[in-house]
Amino acid sequence: MEKGWIIYNGNLTTEKFMYQINWLEQAGRDAGFEIVSIKNNELIVTIEDGKSVIKGPYGKEIPDFVFFWDKDLSLARHLEKVGLRLFNSSRTIEICDDKSLTSQILADHNIRMPKTVIAPMVYSEICDFSMYKYIVDELGFPLVIKEAYGSFGEQVYLVHNEVELIEKIKALKNKKYIIQEFIQSSYGRDIRLNVVGNKVVAAMQRKSESDFRANITAGGKTYEYEPSEEEKKLAVRCSQLVGADFSGVDLLFGEDGKPVLCEINSNSHFKTIYDCTGIDVAEYMMRYIKEELSKGE
């Protein structure tokens, strides 16, 4: 029986997160795997005698694969260096976790995205605001500021005028962020498509009556949704470009009705879409891993 590790964050053990870890464990067992869930801080990244090794209570128990349900890139890269197959890879997690990097990776591939400006690097606090007038000329108001690192629609801000813009830039200080045009036609609504391999396996629409963000944590509600072929094709293409084995792709509704990429999630939570659609994405992910491992036999 093939053995797999589920890696999760040892300092993020709320009921909400552990519920999904337990769900993944069961999906793995149903797929025929021996599954062990391990906290990221139980695997100690070590360089010893010039070689990459893993220390800690699980350091000598090498699995056949790792389901990496965390964003600890140092650990992910290290596991790959010692020869383990990660789902998703460290590079995919890195790309999806950084919204500025996501935008750059997808650029020049004919992907419909909001016009995006990557903010210049700031070492401590910004003191030169002159370049922002050019950004406003490009994007207009309102515009959207997104911190490069953030989840659940948090760290995303709708800015209506120059005063708000300067206040927000000052508050962000040296944080990494992007600035995007606001897609008014998608105010308070988007689509989440879960991609496994090269297939969309589940989709839902999210709507909020009180916020420009459609995320559930921002007050959004979920609705069953049948994506068009164009929407499915865009979601799969974006997932492929970031090298994902599986992903949650969020699409906006463009002015002309055509889909526009919002973002890609490498660690897309699956309970909400199950509650909405009855589709168990965890089951699809584990089946996919089974199929991928069989190719190497």
Q: Dump pLDDT digits (tens) for 108-150.
A: 999 999 999 999 999 988 888 888 999 999 999 999 999 999 8
Residue 176 has pLDDT above 80, yes or no: yes
What is the enclosing helix (H) or strand (E) of 60? Answer: none
Residue 294 has pLDDT above 80, yes or no: yes
227 cis-preceded (ω within 30 degrees of 0): no
Could you tell me what percent of the chain has a pLDDT over 90?
84
Q: How far apart are CA 132 and CA 164, in angstroms?
A: 12
Residue 220 has pLDDT above 80, yes or no: no
Q: How far apart are CA 278 and CA 271, in angstroms?
A: 9
Q: What is the pLDDT of residues 61-86, one digit of tens each?
A: 789 999 999 999 999 999 999 999 99
Distances, alpha carbon 173 to alpha carbons 119, 125, 135, 161, in Å: 11, 5, 18, 19
In the chain, DSSP assigns E strands to 3-8, 34-39, 44-48, 51-55, 65-68, 86-87, 116-118, 143-147, 156-159, 177-181, 189-196, 199-207, 221-224, 246-253, 259-265
Residue 218 near residue 156 (C-beta atoms within 8 A): no
95-111+185-294 is a CATH 3.30.470.20 domain: yes
Q: Looking at residues 195-211, what average pLDDT do you find?
A: 94
Interhelix angle for 90-97 vs 73-81, to 10°?
A: 160
Q: Where are the domains of the chain?
A: 3-87, 95-111+185-294, 116-182
Tokens at 237, concatenated: 């293409």
Q: What is the pLDDT of residues 30-56, one digit of tens each?
A: 999 999 999 999 999 999 999 999 998
Residue 234: closest CA among 215, 247, 218: 247
- Alpha-helical runs (H) found in 31-89: 73-81
Residue 117 near residue 139 (C-beta atoms within 8 A): yes
Q: What is the pLDDT of residues 232-268, one digit of tens each?
A: 999 999 999 999 999 999 999 999 889 999 999 999 9
Fold classification of 3-87 (topology level): Rossmann fold (3.40.50)
Strand order in the sheet with 156-159: 116-118, 177-181, 143-147, 156-159
End-to-end CA distance of the chain: 13
According to the model, what pLDDT value does residue 214 have? 73
According to the model, what pLDDT value does residue 189 have? 94
| Confidence at 286, pLDDT banded by 50, 70, 90 | very high
Fold classification of 116-182 (topology level): Dna Ligase; domain 1 (3.30.1490)
Burial of 292 (0-12, 13-18, 19+ CB in 10 A): middle
| Confidence at 13, pLDDT banded by 50, 70, 90 | confident
267 cis-preceded (ω within 30 degrees of 0): no
